[in-house]
Amino acid sequence: MLFLLGAGFNIDATREAGPFYGNSINIGVHQIDCKYPLVADVLKLCFGLDKTAEGKSIEDLFSEALARADYKPMEALVDRLLGADYYIAQRLATAQKSNSYRRFFEHFDRAQFLTFNYDSLPEIFLSQSGRWFPEDGYGVPVQTQLASLAEPRIAAQSSSLVIHLHGSACVFTIESRIIGNPVGGIAELVHLDEPLYAFDPHSISHCFPRYGRVVSVTGHTRPKSE
């Protein structure tokens, strides 16, 4: 069975998870705004707009921003999605009380998923039940790094794949390698014929406790828009 997930898939997650509160020196106890954004939320968050110009979509705005090498709108969206995963998806996936998302993933235990979303909500749920692993769960081989205290395990195969049609905020590409000794010798930067993919859970590492962060040859860990 195959499911196609769109932006509306996360619409009930905020309500089911309930409110989150923080406490800061400046404003004291306050409710944290970490909901999964809808289109209107993304428009305001990323572009400071209440509505788009006539004949222009939010996709047009992102395309135009990337064309002029302005990555701030995409980075603002990724920050919000990682925050929603950090709070909402993790709470729902690990709560003792059942919820509609857990029941959905448990009921369709042999399903595969195509998603237009950048967030990692499906992976967080599926990894909890041992049905998804980043090494092969994205549909392509992905390099991972076990966390420092994680015990090695026998390689497992994902029974459910999550294919991100527009990309994932937790996967970046490695397009080059350093060959040779860079210290006191001659090293060569070699561009790969085919890019490698690496898993970097970044600020939501606690959602995937067995995994650490993979650092690329350029020092980048977090996915970039460039």
> Can you give the residue ranges of every domain in the chain?
2-169
Say how far apart CA 179 and CA 189 lie, in whole Å.
6
Q: Is 175 helix (H, G, I), strand (E, B) or coil?
A: strand
Per-residue model confidence as pLDDT tens digits over 79-106? 999 999 999 999 999 999 999 999 999 9
Say how far apart CA 27 and CA 103 lie, in whole Å.
38
Mean pLDDT of the chain: 87
119 and 6 Cβ atoms separated by less than 8 Å: no
Report whether pLDDT(217) > 70.
no
Give pLDDT, residue 190: 77
Q: Which residue has the higher pLDDT, 112 or 184?
A: 112
Per-residue model confidence as pLDDT tens digits over 149-187? 666 666 679 999 999 998 898 998 877 777 776 566 677
167 and 74 Cβ atoms separated by less than 8 Å: no
Per-residue model confidence as pLDDT tens digits over 42-81? 999 999 999 888 888 999 999 999 999 999 999 999 999 9
Helix (H), strand (E), coil (C) string for 53-108: CCCCCHHHHHHHHHHCCCCHHHHHHHHHHHHHHHHHHHHHHHCCCCCHHHHHHHHC
Give pLDDT, residue 218: 45
Q: Which of 6-20, 80-94, 186-200 holds the top average pLDDT?
A: 80-94
The pTM assigned to this predicted structure is 0.84
Report whether pLDDT(188) > 60.
yes
Give pLDDT, residue 181: 67
Neighbours of 127 (CB within 10 A): 23
Say how far apart CA 158 and CA 198 lie, in whole Å.
17
Q: What dihedral do alpha carbons 153, 97, 8, 226 form, nearest 10°?
A: -40
